[in-house]
Amino acid sequence: MLRRTYLGLEIRQHELRAVAVQRRGKKIALVGGQVLALPEAVLQPGFKVPNVSQPEQFVAALQRLLEPLAKRDNRIAVSLPDRAGQLFLLELETPFKSRSEGCELLRWHLKDKLPVQSKRMALDFQVLEENESGHKKILAAVIDQDVLSQYESLFAQAGYAATIIDFHSLALYNAYRTKIDLGRDFILIGVDDCQLSILVFVNQILNFCRVKETSREPRKIFQELSRSLVNYRNKQPAFSRMAVYLHSDWQDQDDLFAAVTSAFDQDVQWLVSPVSKLMNGHQLAFTGAEASGMAAALGVAERMIQRVAS
C-alpha cells in the first residue's frame, strides 16, 4: 500500500530541520528526519526585508535535506522563525461577514502597530473565541509580503510547494497538544536555540503570547520570563494555579530547568519530545536534544495531516 509522506520543515538561522511522517490508521508514524547546518551568511530572519541573502545556497540546502525524505511528495509544511513575522492577540467587537472582510478590518486595527504599511502585509487569522454579542478574540499572524514571497519562490526553485507556513511557537504547541493532555489553564515555555516563546492558555484558549530572541544563558531566560510575565501575572488571578510546561532542545537542561522554575511559584514539568515518543524502536535514533529540536517540524507536518483529514 502506497502511503503519502507528509514533510515538515523548520527553518532556523543556522540550520534546517525536517521530518517525514505517514498516517497509519489513526496514528502517525515517523519515517525520516534530518538536520542540515546553514553557513553563517545564508539566512538572517527579520521582519522588514527578504531573509535569504544567498538564495542558491539556500535552495541547494533544501534539496539536500528534503530529497532523501520526500519519496514522491513535493508538498511541505513550513515553520518559520517567529521574528520573520509577528503574532497579535486582538479583541474585536465589529462584526464581519467574510474572511476577506475580516482581514481588512484587522489591517485597520493593526496599522499603528506594524513597522511597515499594512497593505504590504500578508495576513491570516484564527477566531479563538466568540460570545453571543459577536465579540471575538482573534489570533492574527502577519508577515511582510516580500519576505513571504521570497521563501515561497525559493521552495519552488528547490522543487517543493509550501501548503502551510506557520511560526515556530505555534508549530511547537501543535506538536504537543496532540500528544499530551495539557489541561485547561496552562503555560507553555519553549526554549529552542536562542528563541524563547511564552504561550498562556485559559480555558484552552490562547490568552497571552510573547516571543523573544535571547542568548543561551539560563540567567537570561529567567530575566526574560520575569520581565515578560510581570504585568500579566498581576492581572490573571489564576496564574499561580496554572500548570507550567517546559520544552527545550538545549543539551544542558539542569541549569535551564532551575532558571525556569525560579521564575514561577508553581512546579514546572519538563516535556518529553513528541518525536521521541514516535520513534518507539524505529531505526531513527536521535538524542533527546535532537528529538526535541524536531518538535516544530513535526507540529507543522501534523497541521498538514489535519488539513487533509478535515
* Cα–Cα–Cα angle for 87, 91, 97, rounded to 5 degrees: 100
| Of residues 250 and 24, more confidently modeled | 250
Residue 65: band (very low, low, confident or very high) from pLDDT cuts 50, 70, 90:
very high
What is the pLDDT at residue 120?
A: 83
pLDDT by residue (tens digit) across 199-229?
A: 999 999 999 999 999 999 999 999 999 999 9
> What whole-number distance in Å separates Cα of residue 298 and Cα of residue 276?
11
What pLDDT does residue 231 have? Answer: 94
Residue type at 61? A
Mean pLDDT to the nearest integer, 112-141: 85
> Which pLDDT belongs to residue 252?
86
Residues in the chain: 310
Mean pLDDT lowest among 60-64, 139-143, 235-239, 276-280: 276-280
Q: What is the mean pLDDT of the chain?
A: 91
Give tens-digit pLDDT for 238-296.
Answer: 899 999 999 999 988 999 999 999 999 889 999 988 888 777 555 566 666 788 899 99
**Neighbouring residues of 95: CB distance < 8 A, sequence distance ≥ 6:** 134
Examine the pLDDT at 117 and tell me if it is beyond 90: no
Residue 188 has pLDDT above 80, yes or no: yes
Q: Give the pLDDT band of residue 164 (cuts 50, 70, 90).
A: very high
pLDDT for position 17:
95
Q: 20 pairs with which residues across the strands?
A: 7, 32
The Cα–Cα gap between 100 and 270 comes to: 41
CA nearest to 264, candidates 231, 215, 236, 230: 230
Q: What is the pLDDT of residue 283?
A: 55
* Amino acid 72: pLDDT: 83
